[in-house]
Amino acid sequence: MSQAEQVENSTITQWVTFRLEDERYGINVMQVQEVLRMTEIAPVPGAPDYVLGIINLRGNVVTVMDTRKRFALPQHEPDEATRIVIIEAEDQVVGILVDSVAEVVYLDQPDIESPPNVGNEESSRYIQGVANRDDGLLILVDLNKLLTDEEWREFSSL
């Protein structure tokens, strides 16, 4: 049985993985629309600091999120590997800037461990779980919880 067939028939899920700083993150493949090379991002005056700006995607305006800022990581100059991942979350199409995009991985439910849940940091709600891989830990991100409801509303009005 192919992996695709396994996905259809079981609890196996697919995750697009990307890098930020030295860590690897995974997002549900069903929410990923496309991956773009780095392009010019027009800043939006008065936007929250986690908003890099907007891009023109085939005539549509897409807001791009500064994922490093959101994850409280230091800033990083974009390079050849930098990508904008276009995702759909909370009924919006947005872009998230990442250092690089890697492979799509298949994870079975037992492979996914619950998130650390240490302290009561509200911002850690978007970590859906972790998966121990040969090449290190994969941090699974719940895109819908990347922003609060209020932040998503603000995002849509930019």
Partner 1 sequence: MSVSEKQALSEVVQHELALKVYINALLDEEVAEPVVAERLPDMKAIETAVVETPAVVPAVTQAVVPEALESVPYPVWAESKFEALMFKVGGFLTLATPLATLNTILTWSDKITPMPGHAEWFLGLLPMRERQVKVIDIAKFVIPRGHVSRRSLQGPRRFKHIIIVGCGEYGLACDDLGEVFGVERDKVRWRGDRSQRPWLAGTVVEQMCALLDVDVFAEMLKEGCPVDETGE
- Cβ atoms of residues 103 and 119 within 8 Å: no
Q: Is residue 36 a contact point for partner 1 (CB under 8 A)?
A: no
Under rule CB under 8 A, which residues in 92-111 are in contact with partner 1? none
46 binds partner 1 (CB under 8 A): no
Determine, following the binding rule CB under 8 A, whether residue 43 of this chain makes contact with partner 1. Answer: no
Cβ 97 to partner 1, closest distance in Å?
14
Q: How far is CA 76 from CA 2, 40, 83, 98, 100, in A?
A: 39, 16, 13, 10, 12
Is residue 13 classed as helix, strand or coil in its secondary structure? strand
Binding status of residue 52 toward partner 1 by CB under 8 A? no
Q: Around Cβ 110, how many Cβ atoms within 10 Å?
A: 7
**113 lines the binding site for partner 1 (CB under 8 A):** yes
The answer to the question of residue 132 lying near partner 1 (CB under 8 A) is yes
Q: Are 114 and 57 in contact (CB under 8 A)?
A: no
**Interacting residues toward partner 1 by CB under 8 A:** 23, 70-73, 113, 115-121, 123-127, 130, 132, 136-137, 139
